[in-house]
Chain A
């Protein structure tokens, strides 16, 4: 299908005008840069955007990660301070310390951060419970079995590394802040035995500083130990990875800094000494929308460019094509015989030269024609003079007339007759300028001819003429019957002994005209007739003049039998309506 189309286009191009070709060429040439521009923008534009977004995402997650690291380290240190504080250690060992003093200690360690974090201390048996806020119920060891307390994991840690950082224990504080991260640590006595626990719960507000101004659509805090994640921006989003479709391509441990889904770029940062990761999510659909809008603008620009290319191509093609068209037009006129030169106007040097050459060619042709015409005039003049030099037919007729008169005066009737008839024959042959004569005139000519022949040959020549009165006025080319009669006498009868008969008939049969010349001469074998014999010059001449006049409406038929005679028939068919006259 495609190939057929291409073939059709190339076929139609083969016959197209110069203007069309120029126009298409310029148009396509002008379209090529536009086309490449479009391709480059589509291919490179998307790629570059993606890379930029990834780069930006990774840079930002580094910043966020640093901040997070700093935050966690800070609170981890505070937890450490609390767990190693002597007074707090005493309290959890049930050594009495004044209440005011111990809270003062706690707040001083938290150094005013208590609206961002809740610090709680609980003794191993749960009898001592301190908190900067209302003591969180989940840390109340009295109501939990050993395995279900948040501190179960802490118990299993060794002495040196005794801090657990987890996001497992979320709850709402009395000030309606959501707790997102818990730092849990054991308090040990001098024998390094666990005497109580510290729980430092970091509020959502603490993370606002981390997420601020980074341009992520969402940031997640991921705990790789239990495959749970918490959104730091939309804090109510919290749970396993199924909640976060953007995380579906992420694997732990990390193999890359960034992962991609069809609509997201997600960059991750590992918080050292924890199983935590912070992740920044960039929604790419927004950029893709912008990109497609950009594509639309680009398309419009290309379209306008194409239109400009179209009009420029049109103008240039016309500019180049016009002189050629003019030249072609002129040549067409020359073909039709108009040879007047024209003024060259093309500003293009080559075309100007071409027009100039064409004009000088025209001038040459004109002067040649002029020469030919003069030559023809001279020839005609020479012919006229030659004709004048010939014997004047007027003299001939007058002499014949004198002979006629003399014959009459002297009673020579045959001389009178023969000279009158000869005069008529000569007039018909020489003087008559009409190409067509009526059948009546043709028959009168034959009558004259036969009269002379009769005088020459005497009574043995018997001639019958019959002309249908209804076709007397019909016109035929002149001298189509007389040559046939002459042929009959010269080739058929002159060699024959006995009576000579010639019958000339013209009649209407149906709508057709039949002219028959029949003799009883020696005849001939129709099949042995030589095409170039002298008798055929006459017949051939008649035949070709009939064909010229009547096309295929006429027919000349020769029938002959040796010893019996010859019949020549001319049939002129009736003219049908619509035939040319």
Chain B
């Protein structure tokens, strides 16, 4: 399966060069679109739901980090002339995958993209694995009581706040543990990544909501806590191997 890439870079020459760069093709990636500011970037992320975002930090409109945070995009590579510590810290906090300093070395970009592709593939496999157990109700079975104080609290946190824009960082803050510790412990105890669990939980909520014919897809999406309909659709496809619309039309019996 080909993954899609969005490039956000305000310098025309640099953006054009990246778009034409053959390395994406070699890695099996497709650059679906590009833009030169943060506002368009956010809009395109919501509309197109790219798998990978490559973005400059300093952008007209809003900076790259804010854009990524607003759309809860984790699979992103930041490009910057800055090696400012403050930027780095913020990038790590919002879960950006990698950080490449300008001038861009092709080899560095290839290494970084390869790592990211591997990560996405793992996530997909996990989602497909979880989804395969959900038939026939399309509700993904998730552990809810694991007899670990921290993880039980984390699951509880998810159950209460799934509608909000939350992630690993917020959960860790709420539980007063470090993100890496929570991440490791969560995987160890439940066998699922934290984000995987959160997405699966939201997905279950969305499937339940879709039984209500009065709600359209984008309402279901926001009620179940997904940042964008595109992202929701993509995840739905990954979990249940079909689009949300298709699911409604074919699986749910007409009321």
- Which of A's residues lie within 8 Å of B, judged by CB? 393-398, 400-406, 408-409, 419-420, 422-424, 427, 431, 433
Contact = CB atoms under 8 A, between A and B. Distances in A.
Contacts of A400: 102-103
B64 to A, nearest CB: 14
Contact of B20 (A393, A409, A427): A409
Contacts of A398: 11, 81, 102
B83 interface: yes
Interface in B11-27: 11, 13-14, 16-18, 20-21
B242 interface: no
A394 B82 contact: yes
Contacts of B13: 402, 405-406, 409
B188 interface: no
B111 interface: no
A420 B102 CA distance: 8
Contacts of B81: 393-398, 401
A405 B14 contact: yes
Interface string B121-152: 00000000000000000000000000000000
Interface residues of B, number: 17
15 contacts: A396-B81, A402-B11, A402-B14, A403-B103, A404-B104, A405-B16, A406-B13, A406-B17, A408-B21, A409-B13, A409-B17, A409-B20, A423-B103, A427-B101, A433-B85
A404 B21 CA distance: 12
Contacts of B102: 397-398, 400-401, 423
Given A397-B81, A398-B81, A427-B83, A408 B103 contact: no
B103 A419 contact: yes
Contacts of A403: 103
B105 interface: yes
Nearest to A403: B103
Given A402-B13, A405-B17, A409-B20, A431 B103 contact: no
Given A405-B14, A409-B17, A424 B105 contact: yes
A419 B17 CA distance: 15
Contacts of A402: 11, 13-14
A233 B50 CA distance: 146
Interface in B45-80: none
B104 A431 contact: no
Contacts of B105: 420, 424
Contacts of B104: 401, 404, 420
A394 B17 CA distance: 20
A477 to B, nearest CB: 20
B34 to A, nearest CB: 13
B82 A404 contact: no
A433 B11 CA distance: 28
B84 to A, nearest CB: 9
B149 to A, nearest CB: 36
Contacts of B14: 401-402, 405
Contacts of A405: 11, 13-14, 16-18
A395 B16 CA distance: 19
Nearest to B14: A405
